Amino acid sequence: MCSHVASVHLMETKRQVKYFHRKSFVLALAASVLSLSGCGGTAAPEKQAASQPVAGPVRLKGAGSTFAYLAYEKWFAEFKKRGQNAEVVYQPTGSADGIKQLEAGTVDFAGTEVPLTDEEVARFKVKPMHIPALMGAIVPIYNVTGVDTELKFTAKALAGIFSGKIKKWNDPELVKANSGATLPAESIVVVHRTDGSGTTYALTDFLSRTNADWKKNFGKSATVKWTVGTGEKSSAELAAKVKQTPNSIGYVELNNAILAKVAHGSVQNSAGKFQKADLESMGAAAEAAGHMETDPRVSIANAPAKNAYPICTFNWLLVPSEMEDADKRTAMRHLMQYVIHEGQKVVMEMDYGILPEGVAPALQDMVDKYK
C-alpha cells in the first residue's frame, strides 16, 4: 500500500507540473525512500548503515569526472559534516584519468560518464562496480555576434560543426533550423575538450547514434582526434573560453552553462522536436533508460521519448568490489548510501537530474552487500 501511494503521488506530480521543479523532485525522492524503508516503524537503510561507525579517521581518495564535480564538491563537504570519522578528497581530472588512476590503485574510486566495457573491467585487479550517482545534460553553448535568441541545433548541424564541415554561422543547415534568427556570415570558432572527458564521450555518443559520417570518422570516445578548433582541459575553462570568444561554440554540462551565464541552445530529439535541456526533459530521458537494475551501464543518448533532451548521460562512481582496509570499506559503504539517498536532494538543486525511481532498490541491494 505504501509503495502504491508513493507511486500515485509521483504520477500526480508529473501530471500537474510542466517542469520537474524542486518540490516535485522532493516528492519523487520521498516516494523512492518510502518504497525502500517500508510503511512500518523500521529504520530507513541509511540510518541502519550509519549505526556502523568508521573506526578511522579515514580519507577516501577519488578522481575523474568534471561533469559531476559541482555535485561532488557539495556531496563530499556534506558527507564530512555527518561526523562519521571519514572525509573524501577528490581531484576533477577528467573521466579517463580517473579510470586510469583507479586501475593503478592510486585512488579509492573514480567518477565517470564513460562506462567500462566487460573487457576493460577484466583488466582491473579488483573488479569495479558501476554505482549510478546522478544524471545530467550536455548542451551546445555559443557566443554569436548579433544573436540574442535561443538557437536550435540538429544532430547534422552539430556533427558538421564539430567535424569542421560546417564553417560559417549562416550555413544552410543552421539557417533552416533558426528561421527567426539573423545568423552572421562569420566563421565558426570551435572550442572542445583536450582531456579524456566524459562530457566529450556523452556528446560523441549522441553524434554516433544520429550521424553516420560522425560514427564512421570519429566515433564514440572520451578523446577525439579533432580536426578543427581549440581545446580546453575542463568544463569551466571551456565555458569561459566560449563566453569571451566571439562567434564561438562549445559544449558543457547544463549547470556549468548556467553558472557561466553563457547562451545554450536546444537540440532536435528522436521525435523531431527541438528540446531545451531542463529538469523535465532530463527526467524524460531517464525514464527511457530501461533495465538499469540488471546492468547500470546504460546510455540515454537520443532517448526514444517525445519530450526527452537528447544529449543526456548518467554519471557513475566506479568503486572496487573489494577493499582490504576495513575502515575504508565501511566509509565507502556510508558514502554510497549517502549518494543514493541524501545526495539526490542535493543534485536536484544544482540543475542535475536525479536517478530514476525504479533503480533505487537495486542500488540499495548493492550497498547492503558491500561488506
- What's the pTM? 0.85
Q: What pLDDT sits at residue 17? A: 38
User: Among 282, 327, 321, 349, which Cα is nearest to 75's?
Assistant: 349
For the domain 137-283, what is the CATH code? 3.40.190.10
What pLDDT score does 289 carry?
A: 82
What is the C-alpha end-to-end distance of the chain, expressed in Å? 31
* Closest residue by Cα to residue 269 from 220, 307, 212, 298: 307
Exposed e or buried b per residue across 134-148, where buried means at least 16 C-beta atoms within 10 angstroms of its C-beta: bbbbbbbbbbbeebe
Strand order in the sheet with 152-153: 152-153, 266-268, 274-275
Give the DSSP letter of residue 85.
Answer: S
Q: What is the DSSP string of 227-264?
A: SSSEEESSHHHHHHHHHHSTTEEEEEEHHHHHHHT-EE
62-120 tens-digit pLDDT: 999 999 999 999 999 999 998 778 999 999 999 999 999 999 999 999 999 999 999 99
- CB–CB of 152/181 below 8 Å? no
Pairwise CA distance, residues 342 & 288, whole Å: 24
- Determine the Cα angle at 134 with ends 238 and 7, to 5°: 145
Spatial separation of the C-alpha atoms in residues 97 and 100, rounded to whole Å: 5
CB 197 within 8 A of CB 253: no
- If you search the block for the grid coordinates 582526434, which residue do you land on? 225
Question: Residues of CATH 3.40.190.10 domain(s) within the chain?
Answer: 137-283
Residue 272 has pLDDT above 90, yes or no: yes
Q: At what angle do helices 2-16 and 22-37 cross, to 10 degrees?
A: 170
Instruction: Please write the tens of the pLDDT for every residue from 191-244.
Output: 999 999 999 999 999 999 999 999 999 999 999 999 999 999 999 999 999 999
Average pLDDT over residues 160-171: 98
Confidence grade of residue 53 (pLDDT, cut at 50, 70, 90)? low
pLDDT over 90 at 20, yes or no: no
Residue 45 above 80 pLDDT? Answer: no
Which percentage of the chain shows pLDDT scores above 70? 85
CA angle 237, 202, 111 (to 5 degrees): 70
pLDDT over 70 (residue 42): no
* pLDDT of 144 over the 60 cut: yes
Output the pLDDT for position 359: 87
Give the tens place of pLDDT for each residue, 150-159.
Answer: 999 999 999 9
pLDDT at 28 over 50: no
User: At 269, is the pLDDT very low, low, confident or very high (cuts 50, 70, 90)?
Assistant: very high
Mean pLDDT of the residues in the chain: 87
Name the packing angle between helices 360-368 and 22-37 (round to 10°).
50
Q: Please state the rounded mean pLDDT for residues 294-303.
A: 93
Residue 138: strand, helix, or coil: strand
| Pairwise CA distance, residues 133 & 353, whole Å | 10
The identity of residue 311, as a single letter, is I
